[in-house]
Structure 1
Amino acid sequence: MNSINRPFVIGISSVSGGGKTAVANKLAELLPDAVTLCFDDYDDTNTHPASLETWRKEGGDYTVWQTPALTQDPRSTA
């Protein structure tokens, strides 16, 4: 398989309301086999910090963010 046919991941980050979803949707239009996974679809305060500000003030430990639904989504392994 040549490198042009290898799967790749594009991560998009921005502030709330910064256009991440719009950019992802546009990329999905332009890339025919693209799959989009948006964190907002898995936003559950039962599995990650309810307050981003409190989390940040407490040191911002990324290991407390759990997204089991994302890892179980069949699209995440496509």
Structure 2
Amino acid sequence: MDKPYVISINAISGGGNTTLTKLVAKSLKNSKAFHFDEFDSTNIYPENFYDWSIRGANIEEFDCPGMQKAITESISDNVVDYIIIDFPFGRDHSRLKRDIDLSVFIDTPLDVAMARRIIRDFIDDASDTADSRLKRLKEDLSYYVSRARYPYLDAYRHKNNCDLILDGWKKQEEICEEILNKIKAEPVGTGQPM
């Protein structure tokens, strides 16, 4: 067996990358998924994302040694055919760029991503009172308008180095099918058969 074929799925927060990573992993036989957020205990982040963006948005200030270790071990074990990673920087980050065979960017408009985040983080959260959720939503949106929007915009520059840029407006199943078709079209010997 060749080494596992590594697919990186990248989008802005709320862009659908986590859901799509799970869907692609479910659609590919003998695959394993890794999600950047699942490694928060070992991930390294800039102290302030707005300041980071203003300083030039150097993605090397983010690091994911735990995620890289898990992916490297999975590649070395050579028991899966596909590794799908939900990673915000795709091939642009030095930590994983050599491992990625296919880099995918889900191009989701900021307003759609924001609407999805609101649904995910505020509307679907029944563990809180409505007043408390509304207060948190107002604070979140105010912060987004004044500061958080800029790091979100920085995320779009990572699509330039992706092999496949897909429309984030589409249904997740359609986007998944486009990724699967891209993998099928890969020249023999560059990846695993589907």
Does TM, scored on the shorter chain, surpass 0.5?
yes
By relative contact order (CA 8 Å, sep 6+), the higher-ranking structure is: 2
For the pair 1:40 / 2:37, whether they are aligned, the reply is yes
SS at match of 2:7: coil
Unaligned runs of 5+ in 1: none
1:62 CA drift (Å):
2.1
Aligned to 1:20: 17
**Does the 8 Å CA contact 1:48/1:67 hold for their aligned counterparts?**
no
Q: Which has the higher helix share?
A: 2
Call closer, same or farther: CA 1:32–1:17 in 2, change over 3 Å: same
For 1:1-78, what aligned pairs fall within 5 Å after superposition? Answer: 6-43=3-40, 47-73=44-70, 76-77=71-72, 78=74
SS at match of 1:12: strand
Greater Cα shift, 30-39 or 45-54: 45-54
AA at the equivalent of 1:56: S
Taking the aligned partners of 2:64 and 2:45, their CA distance within structure 1 comes to 8
Taking the aligned partners of 1:67 and 1:34, their CA distance within structure 2 comes to 21
1:33 CA drift (Å):
1.5
Under a length normalisation based on structure 1, what TM-score does the superposition of the two structures give? 0.73
SS at match of 1:32: coil
Call closer, same or farther: CA 1:46–1:69 in 2, change over 3 Å: closer
Call closer, same or farther: CA 1:46–1:68 in 2, change over 3 Å: closer
Larger gyration radius, structure 1 or structure 2: 2
Taking the aligned partners of 1:51 and 1:45, their CA distance within structure 2 comes to 18
CA deviation string 1:51-70 (max 9, x = no partner) = 32221111112222222221
Q: Which has the higher strand share?
A: 2
Stretches (4+) displaced over 4 A: none
Under a length normalisation based on structure 2, what TM-score does the superposition of the two structures give? 0.33
Call closer, same or farther: CA 1:57–1:36 in 2, change over 3 Å: same
Q: Number of aligned residue pairs: give it.
A: 73
Call closer, same or farther: CA 1:25–1:45 in 2, change over 3 Å: closer
Percent identity for Structure 1 against Structure 2:
30
1:40 CA drift (Å):
0.8
CA deviation string 1:12-38 (max 9, x = no partner) = 111211111111111111111111111
